[in-house]
């Protein structure tokens, strides 16, 4: 029987295990505070930001939100960032990507105080992660590690193929999984849009992580017998329903399930883990900024 890895259940456990740390910080006068910044009105980004706000309320993190008009000059966003950097009640914040085309996201990231960069995207935090001394692991890669750990999938010596080389998922995940650590020690192949014979690289892997942003790119014929499949993709595709769309992953679930020993669904797999790890990073940020030690799950 193929195990369907339940991201909602694992995320819920992580949230529960954060509440003690949050109350310890609150008792010490520094309840963790997270801000989300959204420039423009991309509907998917609005949904994500709303869910992050709700998550904060559920665990006792103070949530704040700043909307920036999509046609505002980059300086308006920079001013928001400067305000958040200076605000002692904000321990962490994220600028939801993508930003409009006239704004350079790299420049945005460089302006975020690295101590408040709970996405883990600032060059200082990327460098620390690559050096094996991460301050904030980016939320999706960290969530993938936690899912694998919860499912008791030991990566030591395993071949992992990651499909996708994004700064948000593929690159940081590859760096984490090659580290000499209990949740690393894998041999990692990173595939991308110029990879030749993608199917050979996925078929030979013990673990396939699909993070290409391409609906159902990976089907069952590309999965080795008994492999573990982690689907990071969240793609809106047209559908004949009330919303007019449905969510599908980067993996064709039904055919991949026939071959895999364990697989994450979309939705309900990696997505809730990304959100839980943002809460985790916010608690860690508040702990570091206030010098209050807490146990993190």
Q: Which residue is nearest to ligand GUN (CB)?
A: 97
Among 10, 61, 129, 139, binds ligand GUN (CB under 6 A): 139
Q: Are strands 159-163 and 187-191 parallel, antiparallel or unpaired?
A: parallel
What are the catalytic residues?
52, 96, 119
* Residue among 139 and 276 whose Cβ is closer to ligand GUN: 139
Contact call for residues 10 and 59 (beta carbons, < 8 A): no
Q: Beginning with the edge strand found earlier in the chain, give each strand of the sheet holding 228-231 in spatial order.
A: 3-4, 262-263, 228-231, 207-210, 159-163, 187-191
In angstroms, rounded to a whole number, what is the distance separating the alpha carbons of residues 177 and 156? 9
119 binding ligand GUN? (CB under 6 A): yes
Q: Could you tell me which stretch among 21-29, 94-102, 212-220, 260-268 binds ligand GUN (CB under 6 A)?
A: 94-102
The secondary element (H helix, E strand) that includes residue 24 is helix 7-27
* Residue 20, number of CB atoms within 10 A of its CB: 12
Does 118 participate in binding ligand GUN (rule CB under 6 A)? no
Cβ-proximal residues to 170 (8 Å cutoff; 6+ apart), any chain: 162, 163, 164, 190, 192, 211
User: Judged by CB, which is closer to ligand GUN: 68, or 139?
Assistant: 139
Q: Which of the residues 148 through 187 are near ligand GUN (CB under 6 A)? A: 168
Stretch that binds ligand GUN, among 4-12, 91-99, 126-134, 157-165 (CB under 6 A): 91-99
Choice from 97, 115, 153, 292 touching ligand GUN (CB under 6 A): 97
Residue range at the interface with ligand GUN (CB under 6 A); choices 21-29, 88-96, 123-131, 221-229? 88-96
Binding residues for ligand GUN, rule: CB under 6 A, are 94-97, 119, 139-140, 168
């Amino acid at each position: 029987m193929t195990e369907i890895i339940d991201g909602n259940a694992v995320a819920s456990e992580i949230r529960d295990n954060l509440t003690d740390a949050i109350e310890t910080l609150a008792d010490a006068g520094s309840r963790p505070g997270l801000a989300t910044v959204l420039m423009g009105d991309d509907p998917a980004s609005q949904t994500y930001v709303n869910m992050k706000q709700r998550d904060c309320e559920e665990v006792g993190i103070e949530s704040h939100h700043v909307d920036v008009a999509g046609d505002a000059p980059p300086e308006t966003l920079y001013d928001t960032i400067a305000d958040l950097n200076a605000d002692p009640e904000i321990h962490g914040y994220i600028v939801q990507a993508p930003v409009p085309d006239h704004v350079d996201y790299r420049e945005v990231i460089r302006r975020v105080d690295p101590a408040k960069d709970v996405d883990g995207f600032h060059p200082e935090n990327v460098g620390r992660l690559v050096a094996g001394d991460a301050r904030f692991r980016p939320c999706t890669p960290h969530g993938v590690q936690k899912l694998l750990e919860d499912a008791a999938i030991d990566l030591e010596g395993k071949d992992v193929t990651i499909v996708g080389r994004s700064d948000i998922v593929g690159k940081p995940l590859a760096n984490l999984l090659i580290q000499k650590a209990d949740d690393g020690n894998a041999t990692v192949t990173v595939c991308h849009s110029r990879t030749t014979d993608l199917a050979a690289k996925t078929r030979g892997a013990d673990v396939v992580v699909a993070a290409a942003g391409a609906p159902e790119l990976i089907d069952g014929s590309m999965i080795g017998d008994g492999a573990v499949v982690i689907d990071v993709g969240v793609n809106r595709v047209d559908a004949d329903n009330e919303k007019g769309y449905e969510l599908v992953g980067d993996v064709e679930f039904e055919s991949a399930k026939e071959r895999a020993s364990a697989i994450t669904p979309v939705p309900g797999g990696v997505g809730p883990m990304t959100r839980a790890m943002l809460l985790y990073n916010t608690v860690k940020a508040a702990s570091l900024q206030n010098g209050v030690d807490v146990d993190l799950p």
